[in-house]
Amino acid sequence: MSAITQIAPAVAETAPEQQWRRPSYWPFVLPALVVVLAIIIFPWLFTIWMSLNEWKVGSPTTFVGLANYLRLPADPRFVEAVWHTIAYTALSVVLPVILGTFAAVVFHQKFAGRGFLRGIFIMPMMATPVAIALVWTMMFHPQLGVLNYLLSLVGLPPQLWVFNPNTVIPSLVLVETWQWTPLVMLIVLGGLAAIPIEPYESAEIDGANIWQTFRYITLPLITPFLFIAGMIRMIDAVKSFDIIFAITQGGPGSASETINLYLYSVAFVYYDLGYGSAIAVVFFFLIIALAGVLLYLRRRTMWTEIGGGA
Amino acid sequence: MSPRYILGRIGLWFAVFVIVSPAILFFLWMASLSLKFEIDNASYPPVFIPEHFAWKNYTDVLASNRFLTYFVNSLIVTGSATLLAMLVGVPAGYGIARMAAHKSAIVILIARITPGLSYLIPLFLLFQWLGLLGTLVPQIIIHLVVTVPIVIWIMIGYFETTPMELEEAALIDGATRWQVFRHVALPIARPGMAVAFILAVIFSWNNFVFGIVLAGRETRTLPVAVYNMISFDQLSWGPLAAAALIVSLPVLVLTVFAQRQIVAGLTAGAVKGG
């Protein structure tokens, strides 16, 4: 540390005022930089290197270039996993964003016990996901589960939930929605708090009803927050693991196997680390691309809003 | 008290009821499952409040000697990973905020976006090569992937809002940067540190994916241990639900008592690990 402080005055000689205004803060960042390099940057570079090799535990590694990547489009299980991921993610973004916005509008009102009830509302996202998944598994049980009992109370036929390939993804999305709607609520609530009160006053004078006020004042003003919430939700839903793994392990068959689940199987069940690394790299760029699309859409809608007004 | 106001209030309370009931009903049902004997858990229609409470489910889980091991493992892994993250992350957040090095935050964002599994493949090989796999060290290190970005992210945001004037005055008076950090910046930043600490603890405690790959029989953390209970007793729901409740209890208690900090942290960074 002393070496760095010794150099500082020499550099600052040309601008003596700068010496105390912008001292070097590198010593503060250095330990974290080492940690980040070791556990975040190094794994990344090493993953890219491994993806270019035939790398299986217990056998010698050979450089194979892009062969691992070329395997992907011809791997039916991977292609299927991509579709499962898209379906799972789309539902897990849309439902929590709609319900979370509704919850935020409600929690934006003043009522007794608001803080306490908000605390209960956010419990699903803080509780240990595996523990929650176990209880949901019991609730999904076709014979003894409480969900089919609740359906029977309102006269609906019993479902197989996660045990039927056709309903497994919507059932898992139900858990995901229950768990992560609170995060959307919190983000949108932050947006609602920033809205000025004047537009609402004039809307009330003009006799607008609740729906009109929401549609034409609240919604446009919180749209940026909806996009942020949607983007965070998308990133988390794409790589959702705990819930799916603990409830179905990707089953029945491979009906709920998403890219992340398949990545786990390839790397830590079959120990095909080279191919697993290639999946990890493609997966990462897929997430970046999806985030990019969402950002692009956001810019476009903002532009059309301005353009439409003119 | 116009009729319209009363109607609005009724509508509001109905909406609150609809929104909060899934969470309340779920946790009540979880508690109900954990307090019932197998006969009640296997009956149809379901029994909500049993005639006899099966406290035995809890004592059985707590009394098994393995549980204590796993609990201590979780404490060590979460405790070490959080403290190490605070140790390197708080100064880093300070440095980044004062240097206005906003680009470095991209690394944190990448860490936020990357699936936890992709860190596991190279680090798994590294730990194997170093011969660390039978110990808790690999899990402590890999939990830093979760805790360090949370702490840095929250601390950058917090230090950016604290005033510079005091620090500049101290520097003019001849204090070193370290003294300024230690005696001026840190005391002011305590609320921010509380937020970072709480969120790091929660997301490290809840982490599951790192454990299933890196933990052996003796080094399991609680979430992994609970998951492994399913394969052994598929149908003993009572003890399983009791174990699930015990595992998430510390986090749920923290959520109730530190709700303000959690909400502040989540809305500031919207960070989630893994």
Q: What is the pLDDT of residue B118?
A: 86
Evaluate if residue B67 carries a pLDDT over 90: no
User: Residue A263: closest CA among chain B residues belongs to which residue?
Assistant: B117
Burial of residue B152, with CB atoms counted within 10 A of its CB: 0-12 exposed, 13-18 middle, 19 or more buried: buried
Phi, psi of B44 (to 5 degrees): -135, 130
CA count, 13 A, side-chain hemisphere, B61: 25
Contacts of A264 in chain B (CB under 8 A): 117, 209
Does the residue A166 lie in any domain?
A: yes
User: Alpha-carbon Rg of chain A, whole angstroms?
Assistant: 25
Task: Please give, rounded to a whole number of angstroms, the shortest distance from the CA of B235 to a CA of chain A.
Answer: 9
Are residues B121 and A273, on separate chains, in Cβ contact within 8 Å? yes
Say which residue the tokens 């004062």 belong to: B98
Q: What is the pLDDT of residue A308?
A: 37
Q: Write out the two tokens for B182.
A: 């230690």
* CATH number, residue A117: 1.10.3720.10
Are residues A241 and B241, on separate chains, in Cβ contact within 8 Å? no
Contacts of A50 in chain B (CB under 8 A): 121-122
Q: What is the pLDDT of residues B180-210, one digit of tens each?
A: 999 999 998 998 999 999 999 999 999 999 9
Does the residue A37 lie in any domain?
A: no
A8 shares contact with chain B (CB less than 8 Å): no
Does the residue A46 lie in any domain?
A: no
Contacts of B15 in chain A (CB under 8 A): 102, 106
Range with the lowest mean pLDDT among A273-277, B154-158, B263-267? Answer: B263-267
Q: Are A226 and A97 in contact (CB under 8 A)?
A: yes
> For strand A53-54 and strand A62-63, is the pairing parallel, antiparallel, or unpaired?
antiparallel
What total number of domains does chain A contain?
1
Residue A102, SS3 per DSSP: helix
Evaluate if residue B20 carries a pLDDT over 90: yes
Evaluate if residue A8 carries a pLDDT over 50: no
Give the mean model confidence (pLDDT) for residues B117-133: 89
B27 shares contact with chain A (CB less than 8 Å): yes
Q: What is the pLDDT of residues A200-251, one digit of tens each?
A: 888 888 888 888 888 888 898 898 889 888 988 998 999 999 999 999 999 8
Put simply, the chain A residues between 33 and 92 with a CB less than 8 A from any chain B CB are 33-36, 39-44, 46-47, 50
Does the residue A270 lie in any domain?
A: yes
Are residues A143 and B44, on separate chains, in Cβ contact within 8 Å? yes
Contacts of A287 in chain B (CB under 8 A): 113-115
Q: What is the pLDDT of residue B232?
A: 54
Q: What is the pLDDT of residues A181-196, one digit of tens each?
A: 999 999 999 889 888 8
Contacts of A118 in chain B (CB under 8 A): 259, 263
Q: Which of A29, A123, A134 sits opposite B92 (nearest CB)?
A: A29
Buried/exposed code over B189-228 (b: 16+ C-beta within 10 A; e: otherwise): beebbbbbbbbbbbbbbbbbbbbbbbbeeebbbbbbbbbb
Element (H, E) at A31: helix A26-36
Are residues B96 and A29, on separate chains, in Cβ contact within 8 Å? yes
CA dihedral (B247, B64, B208, A225) in degrees, to 10, reads 0
Q: Write out the two tokens for B189.
A: 């930043």
Mean of all residue pLDDT scores within chain B: 88
Give the mean model confidence (pLDDT) for residues A51-69: 87
Q: Cα separation of B143 and B207, whole Å?
A: 8
Contacts of B24 in chain A (CB under 8 A): 120
Are residues B33 and A135, on separate chains, in Cβ contact within 8 Å? yes
End-to-end C-alpha distance for chain B, whole angstroms: 50
User: Residue B45: closest CA among chain A residues belongs to which residue?
Assistant: A149
Are residues A47 and B120, on separate chains, in Cβ contact within 8 Å? no
Q: Cα separation of B185 and B159, whole Å?
A: 8
Say which residue the tokens 């969470």 belong to: B23
Q: Cα separation of B55 and B46, whole Å?
A: 19
Q: Are A213 and A64 in contact (CB under 8 A)?
A: no
Q: Write out the two tokens for B238.
A: 């009572």
**pTM to 2 decimals?**
0.88
Q: Cα separation of A267 and A269, whole Å?
A: 6
Does the residue A10 lie in any domain?
A: no
Are residues B252 and A123, on separate chains, in Cβ contact within 8 Å? yes
Of A104, A76, A64, which is closest to residue A195 (Cα–Cα)?
A: A104
End-to-end C-alpha distance for chain A, whole angstroms: 58
| Model ipTM value | 0.90
Q: Which domain holds residue A173?
A: 70-309
B181 shares contact with chain A (CB less than 8 Å): yes
Contacts of B122 in chain A (CB under 8 A): 42-43, 46-47, 50, 277
Q: What is the pLDDT of residue A132?
A: 95
Q: Are B81 and B144 in contact (CB under 8 A)?
A: yes
More confident residue, A268 or B43: A268
Q: Which of A46, A236, A264 sits opposite B122 (nearest CB)?
A: A46
Contacts of B168 in chain A (CB under 8 A): 20-21
Does the residue A53 lie in any domain?
A: no
Percent over 70 (pLDDT), chain B: 95
Q: What is the pLDDT of residue A307?
A: 39
Contacts of A102 in chain B (CB under 8 A): 15, 19
Of B124, B133, B144, B156, which is closest to residue B79 (Cα–Cα)?
A: B144
Q: What is the pLDDT of residues A144-175, one digit of tens each?
A: 889 999 999 998 998 899 999 999 999 999 99
Say which residue the tokens 């708090």 belong to: A193
Q: What is the pLDDT of residue A61?
A: 84
Question: Measured between alpha carbons, how far is residue B39 from residues A150, B11, B34, B54 in Å?
Answer: 20, 41, 13, 11
Task: Please give, rounded to a whole number of angstroms, the shortest distance from the CA of B63 to a CA of chain A.
Answer: 19
Q: Which of B172, B213, B241 sits opposite A268 (nearest CB)?
A: B213
Q: What is the pLDDT of residue A12?
A: 40
Q: Write out the two tokens for B206.
A: 């809840």
Q: What is the pLDDT of residues B240-251, one digit of tens each?
A: 999 999 999 999
Does the residue A47 lie in any domain?
A: no
Q: What is the pLDDT of residues A13-57, one digit of tens each?
A: 444 444 445 558 888 989 999 998 988 889 999 999 999 998 887
A250 shares contact with chain B (CB less than 8 Å): no
Range with the lowest mean pLDDT among A104-118, A292-306, B184-198? Answer: A292-306
B105 shares contact with chain A (CB less than 8 Å): no
From the centroid of its chain, how far is CA B46? 32
DSSP, residue by residue, B65-90: HHHHHHHHHHHHHHHHHHHHHHHHHH
Does the residue A26 lie in any domain?
A: no
A100 shares contact with chain B (CB less than 8 Å): no
Contacts of A31 in chain B (CB under 8 A): 87-88, 91-92
pLDDT band at B231 (very low <50, low <70, confident <90, very high): low
Q: Cα separation of A218 and A200, whole Å?
A: 9
Q: What is the pLDDT of residue A10?
A: 41
